[in-house]
Amino acid sequence: ASAAVLQDAEKRGGAARGGPPAAVEKLDLKPPKGTRDVFPEDMRLRNWLFGHWRGVASSFGFEEYDAPVLESESLYTRKSGEEVTQQLYCFEDKGGRRVSLRPEMTPSLARMVMAKRKSLTLPVKWFSIPQCWRYERMTRGRRREHYQWNMDIWGVSGVAAEAELLGAMVTFFERVGLRAEDVGIRVNSRGVLTEVLHSLGVPGDKHTATCVLVDKLDKMPLEAVAGDLAELGLEETSVKRLLEVMELRDMGGVEAFLGKESPAAEELRKLFALAESYGISDWLVLDCSVVRGLAYYTGTVFEAFDRRGKLRAIAGGGRYDALLESFGGEALPAAGFGFGDAVIVELLSDRGLLPKEAGPGATAVVFGWDDELQGAATEVAASLRREGISVDLVLQPRKTKANFKHATRVGATYVVMVAPSEWEAGKVSVKDLRTSDQKELPVGEVASHILAGDVA
Ligand SMILES: CC(=O)Nc1cnc2ccccc2c1
C-alpha cells in the first residue's frame, strides 16, 4: 500500500510541477505465490482461533515458546522420504549457509530442549503457534504456509502424556462447538507394526521407512507402494500380513494378532483406560491403519478426522522418543501434536460454527464539530483513553451524519461530539447509541459516565 501511495504522490507531484506524471510501473498487489494477506476481518477469525488454542494450552498448564522461522536446513534432512522434508522452502543465504523456512516446529523444539537440557525441570509442557512453510510446485495452487498449533510434553515415557494431549485436543473441539459425532481421533501405535515386522523377520532399521510408506497407502493404491515395500525386503506374504494388521479396529483383534502380552497392546489398553478418565472415549477410535507420515514417531500415533470423511486430517501427533538421539543428543521421551489452521476452519465453516459478528470495535467515537475543534476533540479522546476507554477519534472533519453512521458500523457504544457552544461552557455532548440517550456533560465527567454505563 505504501508503494501505491508513493506512486500516487509521484503522479500528483508530477502534475503539480507541470510536467507529465512519471510513467511508473504499477506494483503487483498480490502477495507471493502460496501466501495470503490477512485483512482485519480475516485477522478477527485468526485471533478467535488462536485465542481458543492459547486458552486450552494454558488451561492444561502448557507454557508458550517460539523459535526463528528460519533454521539450518540440517534440522530437516532426515532422508526418510517424508513429504514435509521433500518440499523444503530452503535456500543458500548470503553467507553460503544452507537454511530453510521451517516446515514444522518439532525439530526447532528439539534443538531448544537440547540447548537447555541441563536447566530444564521435567516434564516440559510447551506450546507454540508457528507459521510453517513448504515449497510446492504451484501446480496445485495450494498454500505454501500455514499456522500450526503445537503441543508437546517432554520427559514423560508413559501414555499419560498422550492422554493429556488428547484431552487438550478434545477440549478445544468442545470449546468451538464440535461434538464426538462430528470429529473422531484415530489412535494407534507404531509398536503394532513394529511387532508384526519383527515377527516377519524385517530388521529394525527398516521399520521407519516401512511406516512412511504404509502412511502413503491411504493416499495411493497398493501397487504404487508395493514396489518400494519390496525394495525394503518385504515380500508378498509380509505385505499381506501388514495389510491384515492394518484392518484391525478393536483391542480384541490386536490382542489376538499380537498376543496378550504384546507391549503395543498394553500401551493402547492403558491409553484407552486413561481416556475414560478424561471422559473422551467417545472421541477415540482404535485404527491400526494409522501410522502418520513423520519418520520420527516411535510409539503411539493419532490423527483427528471429520467423521463425514470429506476433509483431510484436522490434526496429528504421537510419541517420538528417539528425536534427540537422531540429533546426537541424550534420549528423552517426548510426545506431541500439530494442528493446522486450514482444515479446522473449513470444518467449522461446513458446520456453521465460525464466529459471526466482529468483536466490539472502539467503545466511543469522538469528533469535533469543525477543524477549529480538532484540538478539543483530541483532548477529550486522550482523556478517555487515559481512563482505559477505547476511542476512535475522527481525524478530519466530515458530516455529523457520517460520524454517527461510522460509529454504528464499528459497533461503538457512545458518540462524543465537541461542538462550539458547549465547548465554550466546558461541555461535550454524549450519545448512548443503545438507548439514544443524549446528554451534555462537563468534559471531566465523560469518562466516569461511560465507565458507569457498564460498557460491553
Ligand atoms: C491445508 C493447508 O494449508 N496445508 C498446509 C499448508 N502449508 C503448509 C506448510 C508447511 C507444512 C505443511 C503445510 C500444510
Closest CA to 229 of 203, 205, 210, 206: 210
C-alpha cell at 39: 485483512
Query: 54 CA distance to ligand 1 centroid (A)?
Result: 20
Q: How many helices (H) and strands (E) does the chain have?
A: 17, 17
Residue 133 near ligand 1, beta carbon < 6 Å = yes
Residue 339 near ligand 1, beta carbon < 6 Å = no
Q: What pTM was estimated for this model as a whole?
A: 0.88
CA pair distance 244, 253, nearest whole angstrom: 10
Ligand 1 pocket mutation, candidates 136, 143, 294, 305, criterion most atoms within 8 A of CB: 143
Q: What is the ipTM of this complex?
A: 0.93
Beta-strand ranges (E) seen in 310-379 are 315-319, 334-340, 364-368
Q: How far is CA 182 from the centre of its chain?
A: 20
C-alpha cell at 61: 498448564
Q: Please give the helix or strand (H or E) that residue 429 lies within, else none.
A: strand 427-432
Residue 132 near ligand 1, beta carbon < 6 Å = yes
Q: Whose CA is nearest to atom 8 of ligand 1?
A: 145
Residue 143 near ligand 1, beta carbon < 6 Å = yes
Query: 137 CA distance to ligand 1 centroid (A)?
Result: 13
Residue 146 near ligand 1, beta carbon < 6 Å = yes
CA pair distance 37, 48, nearest whole angstrom: 17
CA pair distance 107, 325, nearest whole angstrom: 12
Query: 404 CA distance to ligand 1 centroid (A)?
Result: 43
Query: 74 CA distance to ligand 1 centroid (A)?
Result: 20
Specify the ligand 1 atom closest to the Cα of 144.
7
How would you write the pLDDT of the chain (456 residues) with one tens digit per residue? 456 655 555 555 445 556 667 789 999 999 999 999 999 999 999 999 999 999 999 999 999 999 999 999 999 998 777 888 889 999 999 999 999 999 999 999 999 999 999 999 999 999 999 999 999 886 677 899 999 999 999 999 999 999 999 999 999 999 999 999 999 999 999 999 999 989 888 888 888 888 888 888 878 888 888 888 888 888 888 888 888 998 999 999 999 999 989 999 999 999 999 999 999 999 999 999 998 878 888 999 999 999 999 999 999 999 999 999 999 999 999 999 999 999 999 999 999 999 987 667 899 999 999 999 999 999 999 999 999 999 999 999 899 999 999 999 999 999 999 999 999 999 999 999 999 999 999 999 999 999 998 654
Closest CA to 270 of 157, 169, 173, 151: 157
Closest CA to 46 of 354, 390, 314, 315: 354
